[in-house]
Chains A and B, each alone.
Chain A
Amino acid sequence: MTALRNIAAIVEKEWRHYFGSPIAWVALFVWTMLFGIFFYFAFTIFIEQSMRVSQQGMEFGGGMKLSLNEYLIRPIFHNMAVVVLFVAPMLTMRLFAEEKRQGTIELLSTAPLTDAEIVIGKFLAAAALYALMIASGLINVGLLYLYAPSPPEWRPLVTGALALFLLGGCFLAMGTFVSTLTRNQIVAGILSFCLFLGIWTLGWAEDPMAGPVMTAVAYLGVTTHMEDMVKGVLDLKDVVFYLTFIGFGLFLAHQSVESQRWRA
């Protein structure tokens, strides 16, 4: 009970920082703008293609329809996954670095809070802001339900959004950890970005002809686990992978915060 109350207090405080500074607004702005741009282009291409397909369909008799999920929403999710790479460091870089620079970490560490509560509170604050970003981006997709003659299926949409959220969650957990390592938030931001990029490229090792080592490496790539979910297939092993990854990141952050007391 007290743990939940403490975590809630940390989350609320972090949101004050996010929205009291330009960070949250810039992140929301960049995210929704890119989401809108991608949506616009994907939509234009989709319409062009549907026209072409329906023309061809007329020539050959049968009327064929392109799936909105497959040709519009899925590419957007893939694009936004790349944007996460850039936005996640913005959300996590100051979490601990700023507290250390300001000396306020001493306030948190001498208050009756556990290190776990601090780490989880900070991560959840970032994750909640990220969830808000995804939700505001999905407003674009919501328009399809209002105006499209045959609305997209909701299931791949939900699992896709979940995949995007979990993918970002991995980055946010790792970013939280990186932020505990330095008192300079710029350094934390750059290091996080490099780390995310590294994790990202692991997925490129995926190749059906590759040996067991490369397969294992590819398995660690966070993007490989998105594929099925974006298609609407919710596989437990993907979800478990992401949750384990997040848990591992938070564990590292916790160990780092705790060990710094022994060394400091």
Chain B
Amino acid sequence: MIEVENLTKRYGRHTAVDAVSFRVEKGEILGFLGPNGAGKTTTMRILTCYLPPSDGTARVAGYDVFKSPLEVKRRVGYIPETPPLYPDMSVTEFLGFCAKIKGVGKKERRAKIDDVIAKTRVGDVRDTLIGKLSKGYRQRVGLAQAILNNPDVLILDEPTAGLDPKQIIETRELIKGLGGEHTIVLSTHILPEVEMTCGRVVIINKGRVVAEDTPQNLTRRLRGAGALRLEVRGDEASVSAAVRAVPGVLQVKARAIPDGLLALEVEAEAGRDVRADLAHAVVTKGFALLGLQQVGMSLEEIFLHLTTTDRAEEPAASSTEVTA
């Protein structure tokens, strides 16, 4: 449904999106993940024909965004980060205008508007001026506008930004309900959202794709690099030394916890199970091993792992591993 190849957007010397490639199949919900300023919005703006790409191609529903923008625009529903709404119009007036410019026929207009109002549950404010609506309602009116002409593709830029927890859950449910019928690309920097709603994740940082997989796979594949948590009774220096001596252990962080115990965070080489060796090492040195636990890397940690600046080299390496 969406094919992006080597998409690049440069602003003068600054490259906002750098040779990004990914595909989204029909009916899929793709999460577009990245820190602020990673190039998510720019990519989405190119997909919706708001900005022209500097290089590379993007095709939506088989149409090139640069060569046939009108065809693409007919098939894409888009909500920018702040939903574009006219505060001086009522909800129905606004949706009526959107229906007209999106080419919804005169006869089906009423029915369509009623339909999206029901779907996004904004019926109780349909005659209220948009300027008087709360943030949650505005977001939903934005969504109603985006699905008016029943587009093949929905592009949602941070659809849950600035909502309260209840509204976030509602919006997620709404998006999930729209998947299958529509192909959805949603951007966010909130990780649980991706785990909950998306079938696949593209992690982008500084304009580059650093990982692409299902949320489950991402978590699993990177678990090897995940941490172990040990609880040991003993003095910090000697315990740390003993643990560090185990082959395959990369890093050890120890801190004191109540009851005279030590908690150790151990980072091991990817794909190497060091649990048996660790337990053996601790016990033979005469310390009491009270707990040994594998801490799976949450998506959050993966994300940080892949996107933090001081590990700029590492993500590139792990991304080849992940996408391979």
Contact = CB atoms under 8 A, between A and B. Distances in A.
A and B, one complex?
A: yes
B22 interface: no
A111 to B, nearest CB: 4
B84 A107 contact: yes
B84 A103 contact: yes
Interface of A: 2, 5-6, 8-10, 12-13, 16-17, 20-21, 102-114, 261-262, 264
Given A103-B84, A104-B85, A112 B103 contact: yes
B299 interface: no
- Max count, chain B CB within 10 A of own CB: residue among A20, A111, A264: A111
25 contacts: A5-B103, A9-B97, A10-B101, A12-B97, A13-B86, A16-B88, A16-B89, A16-B93, A16-B97, A17-B88, A102-B87, A104-B84, A105-B84, A107-B84, A108-B101, A109-B49, A110-B50, A111-B73, A111-B98, A111-B101, A112-B101, A112-B102, A113-B73, A261-B50, A261-B52
Contacts of A262: 52
Q: Which 9 A-B pairs have the closest CB atoms?
A: A107-B84, A9-B100, A104-B84, A112-B73, A110-B48, A20-B88, A111-B101, A112-B74, A110-B78
Contacts of A113: 73, 101
Given A9-B100, A20-B88, 19 more contacts: A5-B100, A12-B97, A12-B100, A13-B97, A16-B89, A16-B97, A20-B89, A21-B88, A102-B85, A103-B80, A103-B84, A107-B84, A108-B101, A110-B78, A112-B70, A112-B73, A112-B101, A112-B102, A113-B73
B103 A2 contact: yes
Nearest to A111: B101
- Max count, chain A CB within 10 A of own CB: residue among B86, B89, B98: B86
A5 B104 CA distance: 11
Nearest to B74: A112
A93 to B, nearest CB: 16
A12 B100 CA distance: 10
Contact of A110 (B52, B73, B82, B87): B73
Nearest to A9: B100
B86 A17 contact: yes
- Max count, chain B CB within 10 A of own CB: residue among A108, A110, A112: A110
A2 B100 CA distance: 10
Contacts of A13: 86, 97
Interface in B62-92: 70, 73-74, 76, 78, 80, 82, 84-89
Nearest to B47: A110
A247 B185 CA distance: 41
